Structure 1
Amino acid sequence: MSTVTSTRSGGSAATRQAIGRAARRLFHEAGYAGASVRAIAAAAGVDAALVIRYFGSKEGLFLETVAIRGRFDDVTNGPLEGLGRRLVASLLQDRPQQTFDTWRAMLRASDSDRVRERLIAAMEEMFIVPLAPRLTGTRAELRARLVAAQISGLLDAVAILADRRITEASLADLVELYGDSIQALIDRTD
């Protein structure tokens, strides 16, 4: 029995999962443009038509399989005191390679309106929604957005630019210096 036949006979859920696993791996390895529907289908052991059948399009497959949602939920829902340092520590210590790979894949595909909208929505969900209502003082929503922008900037410096002066700095220094700059936005009361 061929891989395609056995995957199909295993049910649509197994086929969908196989395609999702292959897509995640190829999008992380080759980026959005470099991962073709045919290559994803081949890696999953299915016909390319099944990719479209289950996900609608390459863009739909990307949006469903490459996600950063929920990445900081445990941190952003915690106490505001020391949040800046905890955000930086979480970013650089908790599954950093997975986060960096996902960030790279999302940015490479951000020329797609739907992907860009999903990236903005993910930042909203991860930072603005949990933080803005809890911040005291003026311009709380803007400050929450700037926290998201600072996390994006650190991700860019480490995952995209691979700035050696940052990537080779000690974790303690990055957590202290960058975390305290984020904390200044969180703590501001005027």
Structure 2
Amino acid sequence: MTGPAATGPASAPGEPAAAPVRRDAEATKAAILRAARYFLVRRAQADVTLKAVAERAGVSPPLVLKYFGNKDALFARVMSFDADADALLNAPLAGLGRHMVRYVLAAQRDQGTDPLLRIAFAPLHGDQGDILRANFRAQVTERLAGRLTGPGAGPRAELAVAALVGLGVMYGIARGTHLRATDIDTIADLYGPLVQAQLTPGG
């Protein structure tokens, strides 16, 4: 089942009209969430309008309301790390470090979003930032700690995630030229063992 058509780019006079771009409901919701994430790491939630989110997603504001109900509900979804954590942690523990490094880089390269980097902008969001921090702890670091064995699982999980957040900053915000010119599998081979050392120390 397809959702409402999104308007394509305007045509110049004398040119054939551009065909409307049609998206199914899941693709439309994903585009809206990507747009909301884009703004979440650039300005305070209170300063983001549904109109701005809709324009970036290429949909109408009523369509945002149709899928998410209101602005608070939309940003509650954006402030959850559940879906990203499912993918981030979806590997056997013995190879999880490399998997997580590769997932962070592939998400930035292919989707233009980082699964973890929203947490760096929690101070922008006042009380909502506390929700972001609580979600991050419960859905990412504590969930990872629950998979680890041996002493110090909590600190080790936080150090592993810190390494991933730092990588995301260098790749996506500082836009390190050497990193961005390097194949992500090569980076995963180089950086994965650093993360893995916290997950399975001595192993």
TM-score (norm 2): 0.62
* 2:93 counterpart residue number: 80
Which segment drifts farther, 122-131 or 149-158? Answer: 122-131
Partner of 2:158: 145
Deviations 1:10-64 (CA, angstroms, capped at 9, x unpaired): xxxxxxxx89965742652694456424544775244xxx79x942xx5553233
Which of structures 1 and 2 has the larger relative contact order (alpha carbons within 8 angstroms, sep 6+)?
1
1:188 equivalenced with 2:198 (yes/no): no
More off after superposition, 94-103 vs 67-76: 94-103
* C-alpha contact 1:76 1:131 (8 A) present in aligned 2: yes
**Secondary structure in structure 1 of the residue aligned to 2:141:** helix
Q: Which amino acid in the other structure matches residue 164 of structure 1? A: T
Partners of 1:123 and 1:148 within 8 A in 2: no
2: CA distance between counterparts of 1:167 and 1:108?
22
Change (3 A) 1:21 1:106: farther
SS in structure 2 at match of 1:71: helix
Aligned-residue CA RMSD (Å): 3.9
Give 3-state SS (helix, strand or coil) of 2:84's partner: coil
Alignment pair present for 1:25 and 2:38: no
C-alpha distance in structure 2 between counterparts of 1:162 and 1:84, whole Å: 22
Q: Distance in 1 between matches of 2:48 and 2:173?
A: 19
- Which residue is equivalent to 1:136? 149
Q: Given residue 160 of structure 2, which amino acid in structure 1 is its aligned partner?
A: V
User: In the TM superposition, what are the counterparts of 1:99-114 in structure 2 within 5 Å?
Assistant: 100=113, 107-108=120-121, 110-114=123-127
For structure 1, the residue ranges without an aligned partner over 5 or more in a row are: 4-17
Aligned: 1:127 with 2:140: yes
Q: How many residues align?
A: 170
- Report the Cα distance in structure 2 between the residues aligned to 1:80 and 1:63, rounded to whole angstroms: 30
Paired with 1:99 and 1:67, the residues of 2 have a C-alpha distance of: 18
- Quick one: distance in 2 between partners of 1:86 and 1:101? 14
- More deviation in 177-186 or 96-105? 96-105
Q: Which amino acid aligns with 2:104?
A: L
After superposition, residues 37-186 of structure 1 pair within 5 angstroms as 37-40=50-53, 44-46=60-62, 54-55=69-70, 58=71, 60-65=73-78, 67-94=80-107, 96-98=109-111, 100=113, 107-108=120-121, 110-186=123-199
Counterpart in the other structure of 1:13: none
Cα separation, partners in 2 of 1:177 and 1:61, compared to 1, 3 Å: same
Q: How far apart are the structure 2 equivalents of 1:80 and 1:20?
A: 29
Partners of 1:19 and 1:41 within 8 A in 2: no
Question: Which consecutive unaligned segments of at least 5 residues does structure 2 have?
Answer: 5-27
